[in-house]
Every structure is written in C-alpha cells, then in structure tokens.
Amino acid sequence: MTEQYDVIVIGAGPAGYVAAIRCAQLGLKTACVDDWLSSNDKPSLGGTCLNVGCIPSKALLESSALYANARQDFAKHGIVVPSIKMDISAMMARKDKIVNELSQGIGILFKSNGITLYSGRGKLLPDKHIEIKEFGEEEKRTVSADNVILAPGSSPIDLKAAPLDGHLIVDSSGALGFSEVPARLGIIGAGVIGLELGSMWRRLGSEVVLLEAQEKFLPIADDQIARESHKQFSAQGLDIRLNARVVACEVKNNRVNIDYEDATGTQHETVDKLIVAVGRRPNTSDLCAEEAGLTLEEWGVIHVDAQCMTNLPGVYAIGDASHGPMLAHKGSEEGVMVAEIIAGHSAQVNYDTIPNVIYTEPEIAWIGKTEQRLKSTGTPYRVGKFPFSASGRAKASGDTTGMVKVLADAETDRILGVHMMGPHCSELIAQAGIAMAFGASSEDIAMIMFAHPTLSEAFREAALAVDGRAIHLVKK
C-alpha cells in the first residue's frame, strides 16, 4: 500500500527542514526527502546552507578574522604575541565539526517532531505522488500526500570559459575546503560569494584578484555603501577588476591561465586556484515528471504566487528554487508560511523586509529600498546618516569604519530602507527589520532609549539625523 502523508517536503535545506518542522508542530503527518551526501558519502541534513554555504563559510570567516586580527590588531591593544602560526587543517576540522553537529541537530529535531525522513532522491509524479529512490535501496518506492512542498534549493552556475576540475578550478564548495592557502587566488564574480570567500582567503594571506563582468561594483547594495565598501576592500588588498569578462581558462604547470576581456582588450592573469562564483540556479532539472505538469520559468525557477503555491493545487515551492533572493532566512520564512496555510491558517511573508548581509569586514547589511531605487520611483525621502567614527563604542573597540543610513518617507516619515556598513552590522540590521516590520517612523526610533556605549546607538543617531537632530554630529 502507498504510504500516505498530509505533507511531503522535498529537500531538507533551511527552506525544507523548517517547513517540515512547522508542519509537524501543527499536527500534520509529515515526511521529508533529502539527497545531500557529505564528502564521506553520508546523508547530511541542512542543504547548501549548512553543508557548503552559510555555516561553513561563516566558520572560516571567523577563523580568518581572528588570524588577521592577531597579526594586525593585537599590538594596537598592547597585546604582544611572539609568533602566530596558521593551522589550516585545524581550521577546516573545526568548520567540519560545526557542520556535523548542526546537521545531526536537524536529525534530532526531525525525530522529536515525529517527521519521517527518507534519505534519497524524490521526484514529483502526477496527483501529488512522490517517487523516492532511497540510498542503498534497489527498489524505488512511491508515497503520496495531500500537500507537497518543493524545496530543492540551488547549485552553482557553471561557466563554459572556466570548466571546474575540482582541484585548481572550483566552485564555492571547493573553495571552502582548500588544504593550503593559495599564493594567488582568482575569483570570477565579485558578488556576495566572491567577496566573502575573497576576504577570507585574503586574511589568510592569498593575493586575491576578482574578475567581475559588470561595470558597477555591488549594484544590489545602496550606491554610497557600494562605493565606500569598494574602497575598503581595495585597501585590504582585494584586487577588484570591473568590466572583466572571462573568455578562456587553461590549466598549465599546476596553475590557471585566465584570458579575460575588459574595455581595453584581452588581458591575461595567472593564478594558483580559481573560484567560479557567478550565481546559482534552481535544482529543478530532474525534480518532476513531465506528466506532473509543473510550470517552470526562465532558469528553471518554479513558478509560484505570493503564497508560494505552484500551478498545481496543493503543491508549493519555497526557497532558492522559487522566486525572490536566494537567502536561507527567506526560504525558512516561506516554509513557515506554507505550513501555516496548509494547516488552514492565514499567513504571509513580507518580501519588503528581507534583511541582506554580506559578511565581509566591514560587514554590509541592508533592508528595504536603496536610495537609487527611491529616486527611480520618484518617492520623496529624507536621509539620516551616522558614521561609526563618531560612536564611542566603535572607538573603544578600535573599529570605526562605516556608517548607518536611514531612509524615511519625506511625507509620512515611515522608514523605507536602512543601510549599514561597519562592525557587527549583521546583528544591528535586525533592529531595522523590527522597526520596519512594525511600520516605524524615524521619529519612533529617535524616541527610544538605547544603552550606552553600544554600536546600536548609531542606528538611533541616524534616525535622529533624518530630522537634523543627531547629537554626536558636528553641526554643518
């Protein structure tokens, strides 16, 4: 007999596993199918984010930041360390341990919520049947459900001009496992992954060259923050070449020769390792039988409405494979929303308040509209800015780079966007998220008491600055 569930989730990344847990919490009989295998061929829950994305990259960013601080900044604090050595294999082992623990943690959460886990590949058939090929099983099985949640995630986009060889030319997953620091590292794509991985290996000693096809640096961020951060990254030694389109790569003498074109013609570069980080595409090529009739858009993105419902009733799609930015927290929120809807509740995701963070140093974080977006839509706005150089806490901790910028509607004062660059902005941006979720005005923030001395005060000062009332800014 075909096993029957209320909900089957395909994919146990941050979108799928969160959806499965919320479904189970709501009393729905839930199963989840996931086909991720770790490097030692063991099933590993958590998808891209946990296995080769958010978590391992942040573990290594942290280690590399500590190493760079110990080398460059300890002396400023009067701490003298006779010699500092790097142990890359210990760094990688620490990262792997964190990944394993968190992945096993999801397994424990599944068990405690009574979720059935199938380790293997799932495929959507007509009428909400799912064909499952479990690892180690010869026979496929078919299960069915009243509701299906597709959360298959995404994979790196290949570049014909730079075919991966898994050794010298790698994608972001490969770049999280180098066994030694490349003397000269090339990265194709100065997007979020390029900047985070470039920063990490630069801190550990690599010379880093980023080849970016677009003319403008970081166009998704606020223009001013993009310009300022470009300066900071260049000063750190990231060699960012814009308008650079890679046309060919050749591996020779254990190095990679790159040909790329820029405004002045064809250029050449030679590196010890090359990372290809030019975006990601949805994992939808073998997700559904054709007869199931699922509608896909360009690039294989699953077509959904605002509630993540596909063209097939009772079939939802969430996370990287559906619409919107490819961010773990966006997928998780969609997972919760869909679970609530399946359980008969009303729910929605506010796509206007998705926080974005780039975990470089300085960190870059934003939420809501950029200044250029407000200009292009003709929205009247006021700006308040506050630099961390005027923050007592930033001075005390020795990191005064960057600023907080609040954009508020000129008529209603409602906050429309907050842009940050500087220390701990990945944490500070949550305050802007809370404010915007409650429809706060800059005046609302200005009236709140913040603890002193904290970096958070910069957010309040920026809100005060919208009305020209920042206390710790020189009057112009």
Tell me if residue 452 is catalytic. yes
Q: What is the number of the residue whose Cβ is closest to ligand NAD?
A: 191
* Closer by beta carbon to ligand NAD, 237 or else 325: 325
Q: What is the DSSP letter of 472?
A: T
The full DSSP string for 69-83 is HHHHTGGGGT---S-
Element (H, E) at 458: helix 457-465
- Please report whether residue 208 would count as binding ligand NAD according to CB under 6 A: no
Element (H, E) at 248: strand 245-252
Please work out, in degrees rounded to the nearest 5, the angle formed at the alpha carbon of residue 101 by the alpha carbons of 100 and 105: 115
Q: Kindly tell me which residue out of 9, 61, 327, 367 binds ligand NAD, with binding defined by CB under 6 A.
A: 327
Smallest gap from residue 296 Cβ to ligand FAD (A): 14
Closest to 174 measured CA to CA, from 208, 205, 197 = 197
Smallest gap from residue 15 Cβ to ligand FAD (A): 3
Do the bridges between strand 3-10 and strand 141-150 make them parallel or antiparallel, or are there none, so unpaired?
parallel
| Binding residues with ligand NAD: total (CB under 6 A) | 25
Using CB under 6 A, which residues numbered 385 to 424 contact ligand FAD?
A: none
Catalytic residue among 77, 129, 345, 452: 452
- Please report whether residue 192 would count as binding ligand NAD according to CB under 6 A: yes
Using CB under 6 A, which residues numbered 116 to 155 contact ligand FAD?
A: 121-122, 151-154
CA distance 23 to 148: 11
Q: Kindly tell me which residue out of 38, 214, 243, 307 binds ligand NAD, with binding defined by CB under 6 A.
A: 214
Lookup: tokens for 462: 């920026």
Q: What is the DSSP letter of 181?
A: -
- Which x/- pattern, by CB under 6 A, does the window 275-304 give for ligand NAD? --xxxx------------------------
Q: CB neighbours (10 Å) of residue 419?
A: 30
Sign of the C-alpha dihedral computed for residues 289, 294, 298 and 300 taken in this order: negative
**Residues ≥6 apart with Cβ < 8 Å to 64:** 91, 199, 200, 201, 203, 204
Q: Kindly tell me which residue out of 147, 172, 199, 370 binds ligand FAD, with binding defined by CB under 6 A.
A: 172
Using CB under 6 A, which residues numbered 338 to 367 contact ligand NAD?
A: 357-359
* Closer by beta carbon to ligand FAD, 154 or else 442: 154
Q: What is the DSSP letter of 291?
A: G
Do the bridges between strand 154-156 and strand 280-282 make them parallel or antiparallel, or are there none, so unpaired?
antiparallel
* Closer by beta carbon to ligand FAD, 319 or else 402: 319
CA distance 158 to 53: 17
Q: CB neighbours (10 Å) of residue 453?
A: 14
* Closer by beta carbon to ligand NAD, 359 or else 381: 359
* Closer by beta carbon to ligand NAD, 276 or else 416: 276
Q: Kindly tell me which residue out of 14, 186, 198, 417 binds ligand FAD, with binding defined by CB under 6 A.
A: 14
Sheet holding 363-368, edge to edge: 356-358, 363-368, 415-422, 403-409, 381-387
Cis peptide leading into residue 362 (ω within 30°): yes
From the list ligand NAD, ligand FAD, none, pick the one residue 33 interacts with, judged by a Cβ distance below 5 to 8 Å according to partner type.
ligand FAD
Give the binding range for ligand NAD (CB under 6 A) out of 110-118, 189-197, 289-297, 409-417.
Answer: 189-197
Using CB under 6 A, which residues numbered 275 to 334 contact ligand FAD?
A: 283, 287, 319-320, 326-329, 331
Calculate helix-pair angle for 54-72, 192-203, nearest 10 degrees.
40
- Please report whether residue 363 would count as binding ligand FAD according to CB under 6 A: no
* Closer by beta carbon to ligand NAD, 327 or else 464: 327
Smallest gap from residue 281 Cβ to ligand NAD (A): 10
- Please report whether residue 163 would count as binding ligand NAD according to CB under 6 A: no
User: Under a CB-based contact definition with an 8 Å cutoff, are residues 275 and 172 in contact?
Assistant: yes
Which active-site residues does the annotation give?
Answer: 452
Task: Using CB under 6 A, list all residues that contact ligand NAD.
Answer: 159, 188-194, 196, 211-214, 245-246, 277-280, 325-327, 357-359
Residues that bind ligand FAD (CB under 6 A): 10-16, 33-36, 47-49, 52-54, 57, 121-122, 151-154, 172, 193, 283, 287, 319-320, 326-329, 331, 359
